[in-house]
Amino acid sequence: MEFFIILIFVLGYLAIAFEQGIKLNKAASALLTGVLCWTVFILMNKNYEFVSSELARHLSGIAEILFFLMGAMTIVELMDAHDSFEVITSRIKTTNKRKLLWIFGFLTFFLSAVLDNLTTAIVMASLTRKLLAERKDRMLFVGIVVIAANAGGAWSPIGDVTTTMLWIGGQITSSNIMMKLILPSLVCLVTPLTVLSLVMKGKAEKPAEVLPVEKTIASSVSERNIVFILGLGSLMLVPVFKTITHLPPYMGILFALGILWVITEIIHHEKDEADKDSLSVVHALRKIDVPSILFFLGILVAVSALESTHSLVHLAQWMNEKIDNQSAIVICIGMLSAVVDNVPLVAATTGMYDLQSFPTDSYLWEFIAYCAGTGGSILIIGSAAGVAVMGMEKINFFWYLKKIGWLAALGYFAGAIIYIVQEYILH
Binned at pLDDT 50, 70 and 90, residue 214 comes out as: very low
Quick one: CA dihedral 6, 9, 11, 14, positive or negative? negative
- Top pLDDT among 115 and 408 is at 408
Listed ranges 140-149, 212-221, 240-249, 324-333; the one with the highest mean pLDDT: 140-149
Task: Answer for the pair 344, 306: CB distance below 8 angstroms, yes or no.
Answer: yes
Q: Give 115's DSSP letter.
A: S
Average pLDDT score over residue span 82-110: 85
Length of the chain: 427
pLDDT (tens digit per residue) in 113-153? 877 788 788 888 888 888 888 888 889 999 999 999 999 98
Q: How far is it, in rounded angstroms, from Cα 160 to Cα 152?
A: 9
- Top pLDDT among 27 and 146 is at 146
Q: How far is it, in rounded angstroms, from Cα 157 to Cα 161?
A: 9
Binned at pLDDT 50, 70 and 90, residue 73 comes out as: confident
Binned at pLDDT 50, 70 and 90, residue 348 comes out as: low
- Top pLDDT among 163 and 86 is at 163
Task: Answer for the pair 119, 74: CB distance below 8 angstroms, yes or no.
Answer: no
For the entire predicted model, the pTM comes to 0.73
